[in-house]
Amino acid sequence: MKEIIRAAVAVIAVSALLIYINSQLGKTSGSAGNDTITVYNWGEYLDPELLDRFTEETGIRVIYETFDSNEAMMTKVEQGGTSYDVAMPSEYMIEKMKEEDLLVPLDHSKIPNLKNIDPYFLDLPFDPGNEFSVPYFWGTVGIAFNPDLLEEDFDFTSWEDLWSPELRQQVILVDSAREVMGMGLNSLGYSLNSTDNAELDAASAKLDELTPNVKAIIGDEIVEMMRRNEAAIALTWSGQALDMMYVNESIDFAVPEEGSNLWFDNMIIPKTAANVDGAHQFINFMLDAEVAAQNADWVGYSTPNAAALELMDPEVTGDERFYPDEEIRGRLEVYRNLGPEMTGEYNERFLRFKMGMN
Amino acid sequence: MQNKSTRALYLIPYGAWILLFVIAPIALVVYYSLFDIHGDFTFANYGAFFSSVYLELTLSSFWYAFLITLFSLLIAYPTAYFLTKTRHKQLWLLLIIIPSWINLLLKTYAFIGIFGQYGPINAFFAAIGIGSTQLLFTDFSFIFVSVYIFIPFMILPIFNAIDRLNPALIDASRDLGASPWTTFRRVILPLTMNGVKSGIQVTFIPALSLFMITRLIAGNKVITLGTAIEQQFLVTQNWGMGSTIAVFLILFMFVIMLFTGQKEKGGASIGKTK
């Protein structure tokens, strides 16, 4: 009994000490209720240097948290445990959050830098008049491949190439229902927002034929596997492909001609916001030409900020693989919110596809 | 009288704990499982579970959990047995337990490198002339890594059970003319059965719902109930279906506990403590 008490006292003492140290650390970095904002973003999706700069310029401290899927982000916002002030969801999620009344309308007079954005990316169908959102980055879905590891010559201008019998056990797919089902639909010439059961059946059957070629279905680990020549071909997002290319120069990226996904991530202010004014300041700061250029350099995805593009390396901004012109963009489709039933249907089909692999 | 009331007082923290962290979560899971995506009350989720997809998923989860448990047991039992015979058995035991202090995810990531095309195992294969083999994203790698992770949990209860075994019983068995195999089968194994049962419990049940390893090591070529629950909650946002799968998982665990449960019999205290 004595030992138990002694142990308990020791644990309490250590905990108290740690709490004290923690509070001291908090003090030195100057935390105070109204001078902070909480930013909720995708992983590896913002140059951390810019957060310090924002604090220097405005005196507002940024608490930075990350999520790995739109759905996880929305769940957290819905539950409202943390007061997120700014978040960066994708377009279809904004539609959904709007329906659920989870967004705070933006005050455009507090975001003068909105003028920097290329008008092509403004007033899009998922948020007419940019009432709730401001574009952050955009990109495509395509095929990253390493010609050095392939025996035959493929340029992946067609999705059909992935089904070639020479590519047994070579293709890595991203673990996401919309992207994989979308690829199946696109390869048959259907829309990646299809809700037609016959089309979806055809896409599922088509995907089942791909299984001998599939090496794995994984998440962000794709980047590391491609960098280290562990894998030759990956279905992935444009920015991830660029991440691979920074390290492994043999890698190339292609968006197949049958069509693919064009997506936009956007800055929004969720209903959980505690510092709406600070959130506006942050959004405006991120839209500044110089800041956006530095951020785009660091992140690697395509920026919708026209003023920033002028400050960036023309070799990057002129690269059609990552900044496709309007004609190519015309062939690409933006995801629509499919509603809960169809989302379930897509996921169920994706689950069945994964189960068919073994 | 006073004694009784103070005793009731002592029970309050435990009662509150069980209510808050055991009964309430299970009740919530059951509650959520009774609603569809629109929030309407329904039993349809339970019907959906018996559709081919989820039944197949359940069977495959059980199959892999069975294989993982079997291999863990086959490796752990002899290991535990020989550990009890070594001189510094506590030290050896500690050395086997230490890897379980390292975060599971870290260990899993390490295996991505070890099994990779340019990893040490493939380098060894190339050196002895077998040539580079695809190890990652196979059934083999999945079971290997899972067994590696669960082995300490299997060894610990078995080690305790064997360690508490009274050596006089083994001597008696030998004196009475039993062969080593008969001694093992009729004396050692029955007396350490409780340790084996606890080992199976702590391996089989978590193995049913493994999910990060299925993605990182098996490349989602192995799908378990855990993957399905994760997807229902985070991607489909169909909490009802996710909860329903969780309810079945709880039921399966309950059944397993019944089968591997320890009967209260006089003198069978061996291997009871973990």
Binned at pLDDT 50, 70 and 90, residue B263 comes out as: low
Count of all residues that appear for chain A in the document: 358
Look-up of token digits 């995805």: A301
Domain of residue B214, residue span:
50-260
Burial of B212 (0-12, 13-18, 19+ CB in 10 A): middle
Residue B29 covered by a domain? no
Q: Compute the distance between CA of residue B41 and CA of residue B178 in angstroms, rounded to an integer.
A: 64
Q: Does some domain include residue B11?
A: no
* A99 contacts chain B (CB < 8 A): no
Task: Count the domains in chain B.
Answer: 1
Tell me the per-residue pLDDT of B63-115, one tens digit each, with 9 for 90 and over: 999 999 999 999 999 999 999 988 898 899 999 888 888 898 899 999 998 99
Each residue of B174-213: pLDDT tens digit? 999 999 899 999 999 999 999 999 999 999 989 988 888 9
ipTM value greater than 0.90: no
Whether residue B32 lies inside any domain: the answer is no
For A17-39, b/e burial (b = at least 16 CB within 10 A) is: eeeeeeeeeeeeeeeeeeebbbb
Residues in chain B: 274
CB atoms within 10 A of CB B50: 10
Residue B129 pLDDT > 50: yes
pLDDT at B270: 45
CATH of the domain at B104: 1.10.3720.10
Asked whether residue B271 is domain-assigned, the answer is no
Quote the strand ranges of chain A, DSSP E.
36-42, 61-67, 86-87, 133-145, 171-174, 214-218, 233-237, 252-254, 262-268
Q: Is B179 inside a domain boundary?
A: yes
Of A215, A217, A351, the CB nearest to B53: A351
Domains within chain A, CATH numbers bracketed: 32-138+264-326 (3.40.190.10), 139-262+333-355 (3.40.190.10)
- Would you state the torsion angle of the CA atoms of residues B150, B154, B159, B161, taken in this order, to the nearest 10 degrees? 160
Distance, CA of A135 to CA of A152 (rounded, Å): 40
pLDDT in single tens digits along all 358 residues of chain A: 788 888 899 999 999 999 888 877 755 444 445 689 999 999 889 999 999 999 999 999 999 999 988 888 988 898 887 889 999 999 999 999 999 999 999 999 999 999 999 999 999 889 999 999 999 999 999 999 999 999 888 999 999 999 999 999 999 999 888 999 999 999 999 999 999 999 999 999 999 999 999 999 998 889 999 999 999 999 999 988 988 998 999 999 999 999 999 999 999 999 999 999 999 999 999 999 999 999 999 888 999 999 999 999 998 888 888 898 888 888 899 998 888 889 889 988 999 999 888 7
Residue B10 at interface with chain A, using a CB cutoff of 8 Å: no
- A169: nearest CA partner in chain B: B134
pLDDT in tens, A95-128: 999 999 999 999 999 999 999 999 999 998 899 9
Mutate to test the interface with B, among A174, A348, A349 (most CBs of B within 10 A): A348
How far away is chain A from the Cα of B221, in angstroms, using its nearest Cα? 6
Please answer yes or no on whether A344 and B37 come within 8 Å at the CB atom.
Answer: yes
| Interchain contact A15–B (C-beta under 8 A) | no
**Residue-wise over A93-115: b if at least 16 C-beta within 10 A, else e?**
bbbbbbeeebbbebeeeebebbe
* Phi, psi of B44, deg, nearest 5: -60, -30
Whether residue B268 is predicted with pLDDT greater than 50 in this model: the reply is no
Secondary structure of residue B102 in the 3-state scheme? coil
Which residue of chain A comes nearest to B58, CA vs CA? A355
| CA-closest candidate to residue A234, choices A150, A322, A344, A309 | A150
